[in-house]
Structures are given as structure tokens and as C-alpha cells.
Amino acid sequence: MTRKFLITAAAITAVNGMAMAQMSQSPTAQQPGQHSTQTPSAQPSGASMQGQGQQQQLTSQEFVKQAAACGQYEVKSAKLIQDKVDDQQVKQHAQRIEQDNQKANDELKQIAKAQNITVSDDMDAKHQRMYDQLKEQDKDQMAQTWKQQQIQAHKDNIELFQRASTQLQDPQLKQFAQKQLPILQQHLTTIQSPDQSAQPAGAKLDQDQKEKMNPPDSPMQPQNR
């Protein structure tokens, strides 16, 4: 009797052990309220990062805000340079930048007013710091700092206006951005080339074409003998 009981108990224990092993290996064995620890299905390596590296869509309000703030800085800093700096070439660059940006600022205000977008006459914190930095320096340091600021400011502005020229939905603001891009690029070229005078964009091209047609060291015309 005892022998039969021991055999039966051993058989039951073996069956229970096999059942527990199968449950522990099964992927569906999960207690209520517990989260699965299974590895999620394979995804493309960049799927989890989708959208994180993309720039936010530029709105009309944001474009007007950034363009107006930078435009105010350009005009005020250019006036400061013309008043404080002795270098005539720097003065010419500053005068050209002031005139072009004042015209652009006035046009931007008119377009923004038609769109019920408020344009501030004050610089934002970033451009105010740049302007304050200029005022604290002497005239020699001021000219160099202004050039450095202009290079970075125009690079940033060109990027902003390029985005506006493709992303904006408003046709007037989009056209405004497209029209201003060549002017901004010409300003940047002028500031980066110290030996280039502040002149209209087409003037340098016309001069280069004339020099190619009549090289200085070439004979004007063959003489008949």
C-alpha cells in the first residue's frame, strides 16, 4: 500500500513540474496588471527619432517677429557705427545696410498690418545685447565687433528668409522674403570682403565684364603700317 502511494505521489509531482515549466516558457504567461518584458517588434533605426530632427513649421507671426527684431537691430547699429567710427569704408557699408533695412522694415510693417500682425518697434533680448555690446566699446573695437555681428546676423537672417520663402502660406510675406534674400546675401558678401565697396549688386558684375573685354595689359587695337 505504501509503495503504491509513493509511486502515485511521485507521478503527480512530475506532472505538476512539467506543467509549471511549460507555463514559465510560454510568452503568454503573464499575471494580471503586469507589463510584458518582450522585446518590441523590429522597427527602422530612425523610426523612434522621427520628427525630432525636423525644424518646426515657420508661421507668419513668428517670421514677422524675428525679421522685425533683426531689422531694428540692423538700423540702430548701423546708425551707431556711422556716428562713432572713423573708417569711411565701414561707414559706407553701414549706410547701405541702414537704408536697405529701413526700407524693408517699412514694407514688412505694411504687410503685417494688413494681416493683423503686431510689429514691435523694439529689439528682442538677443539683439539688444548685441547693440549694448557695441556701445560699450571704443570706435576701433566697435568697427570690428560690428563686422563680426553682421556676418553672423546675416547668416541667421538668410536662413530665416529662406525658410519663409518656402514655408509661409501668406503670399505677400512669402514674396517679401524672396525679394529680400538677394539683398541680404549681397550685404553678407560686402561685409566679408573688406576691399569691396558698398555698391549695388550689379555694379561689380558690370565692372568685371568690362575688364574681361578690355584687359589692362592688352593692346587696344592693332596699328596699320
Residue 18 lies in a domain: no
How far is 93 from 85, CA to CA, in rounded Å? 12
* Burial of 205 per CB tally in 10 Å (0-12, 13-18, 19+): exposed
Predicted confidence band at 221 (pLDDT cuts at 50, 70, 90)? Answer: very low
Identify whether 34 is part of a domain.
no
Predicted local distance difference test score (pLDDT) of residue 5:
45
pLDDT in tens, 97-128: 999 999 999 999 999 999 899 998 889 999 99
Burial (Cβ within 10 Å: 0-12, 13-18, ≥19) of residue 143: buried
Copy the grid coordinates of residue 205. 558684375
Please state the pTM of the whole predicted model: 0.63
CA dist., res. 223 & res. 225, Å (int):
6
Name which residue leads in pLDDT, 41 or 73: 73
pLDDT of 29 strictly over 90: no
In the chain, % of residues over pLDDT 70: 61
13 lies in a domain? no
Residue 10 within a domain: no
pLDDT confidence of residue 198: 43
**Does residue 9 belong to any structural domain of this protein?**
no
Across the range 193-218, mean pLDDT stands at 46
How many whole angstroms separate alpha carbon 152 and alpha carbon 157?
Answer: 9
Domain count, the chain: 1
- What would you report as the CA-atom Rg of the chain, rounded to the nearest whole angstrom? 35
Is 51 within the bounds of a domain?
A: no
The mean pLDDT value for 9-13 works out to 50
Dist CA 109 CA 119 (whole Å) = 6
Asked if the structure places residue 108 within a domain, the reply is: yes
* Measured distance CA(28)–CA(36) in Å, rounded: 9
pLDDT digits (tens, 9 = 90+) for 55-103: 689 999 999 999 999 999 999 999 999 999 999 999 999 999 999 999 9
Residue 195 has pLDDT above 60, yes or no: no
In the prediction, which pLDDT does 139 show? Answer: 84
Here the CATH number for the domain that contains residue 138 is 1.20.1260.10
Q: What percent of the chain has pLDDT over 90?
A: 57
Centre a 10 Å sphere on the Cβ of residue 115 and count the other Cβ atoms it contains.
13
Within a domain: 2 = no
Residue 129 lies in domain: 60-193
What is the number of alpha carbons within 13 Å of residue 219 lying toward its C-beta? 3
